Amino acid sequence: MSQLFSPHDLGRLPLKNRIIVSPMCQYSSVDGLANDWHMIHLGHLALSGAAAMFTEAAAVEPEGRITPGDLGLYDDATQAALGRVIEALRRQTDMRLGVQLNHAGRKASTAAPWDGGKRIGADQGGWLPSAPSAESFTHGDPVPAELDDVGMLRIKEAFAASARRAHALGLDMVEVHAAHGYLLHQFLSPLSNHRTDHYGGSLANRLRYPLEVFAAVREAFPQDKAVGVRVSATDWVDGGWDLTQTLVFAEQLRKLGCDFIDVSSGGLTPHQQIVAGPNYQVPFAARIKETTGLPTIAVGLITEPEQAEAIIATGQADAVALARAMLYDPRWPWHAAAKLGAQVDAPKQYHRSQPRQYKHLFKDLPE
């Protein structure tokens, strides 16, 4: 029996199999509003046979967007726009649905990648970013405003408010984004956090604000639903955030009721030296799972069914999350199930597409 297609409870989140669609920024919103692109993009991925899917990262306030085209979940209008998409998905699939909540911090106010990804000013629809410390992401960028207690409280309450909106939309899970060099990661890493108050300096101090944000989200989202955290296990820079510190962070999250850790890496600094290759981030997920007992999600250059099967079968992670591989092949779970001799859910409208050599591929086919 394929372990990749076995059911599993990811903390409080029951899954039909171990495949998750990762949150993937689309940079296609206007004023934070989901639109027809999101309906099409998420709609076809919802038919993939994966057990769960995250929408793209949703900013918890307008200034927390990476680009002006980022999705938001910070007011009634953004909630209603995303709700239209979620309602359509619910009518067509029973897969678990979630949202990743984010604040970009000093990496905010940039152009979309296909427009160069550089910092943009107010004349181009941008704004002044804020951060733990007044230090820009790259040399020559505008220096971000250092957050004071009032600003930090505002953002923490914004995370909680967005979690309440996620519940109102009927979502099954929330993932707090503390990775890829965004605001919460900026607080964690000594490379970006140079504060001299009780939110900077020692590891305990650097953990404080991300843990406060997580606790606020956990309290705001119903206890029978799952809340997890996306982490960068290492900055890939000497003297930066690393796996040892990540393990301490994960243990503190576990004590606060975290359901899973989604394990990525990098993104904090352009000086990172990433050694990338198939499964290059999987050992981080395995170590976090082994040390803390928390369920983990493995990501990063996982492209082949046999590769994903081995990750689950050897206990290195509890689930795998696919991004680019899923965009390239939106029926990746179907093809993986065919290779591994497993079964997968498919819409009844597509049942006749089942190849003859895989006549038992789809579940619930009529005799």
- Which CATH number is 223's domain given? 3.20.20.70
Q: What is the pTM of this model?
A: 0.96
Q: Is residue 335 part of a domain?
A: yes
Q: Is residue 132 part of a domain?
A: yes
Look at residue 275 in the predicted model and tell me its pLDDT: 87
φ and ψ at 329, to 5 degrees?
-135, 85
Q: Is residue 76 part of a domain?
A: yes
Q: Is residue 129 part of a domain?
A: yes
**Annotation says 358 is catalytic:** no
- Measured CA to CA, the distance from residue 164 to residue 159 in angstroms comes to 9
- The H or E element spanning position 305 is helix 305-313
- Measured CA to CA, the distance from residue 140 to residue 55 in angstroms comes to 33
| CB burial of residue 140 (10 Å; 0-12, 13-18, 19+) | exposed
Catalytic residue among 27, 74, 182, 199: 182
Encoding tokens for residue 194? 């140079």
Inter-helix orientation angle 36-45/76-92, to 10°: 30
Contacts 24+ apart (CB under 8 A), 326-335: 326/21, 326/22, 326/45, 326/48, 326/50, 327/24, 330/44, 330/45, 330/47, 330/48, 331/48, 331/49, 332/19, 332/48, 332/50, 333/17, 333/19, 333/48, 333/49, 333/50, 334/48, 334/49, 334/361, 335/305
- Measured CA to CA, the distance from residue 143 to residue 140 in angstroms comes to 8
Q: Is residue 328 part of a domain?
A: yes
Query: What 3 state SS string does 126-159 have?
Result: CCCCEECCCCCCCCCCCCCEECCHHHHHHHHHHH
- Measured CA to CA, the distance from residue 343 to residue 6 in angstroms comes to 10
CB 259 within 8 A of CB 228: yes
Encoding tokens for residue 13? 């989140």
Look at residue 367 in the predicted model and tell me its pLDDT: 60
Q: Is residue 229 part of a domain?
A: yes
**Domain limits at 171?**
8-358
Count of domains for the chain = 1
Q: Is residue 178 part of a domain?
A: yes
For the chain, 367 residues long, the average pLDDT of each consecutive 10-residue run is 96 96 97 98 97 97 98 98 98 97 97 95 93 93 95 98 98 98 98 98 98 98 97 97 98 98 97 93 98 97 97 98 96 97 94 90 79
Q: Is residue 3 part of a domain?
A: no
Look at residue 155 in the predicted model and tell me its pLDDT: 98
**Cα angle at 339 between 337 and 340, to 5 degrees?**
65
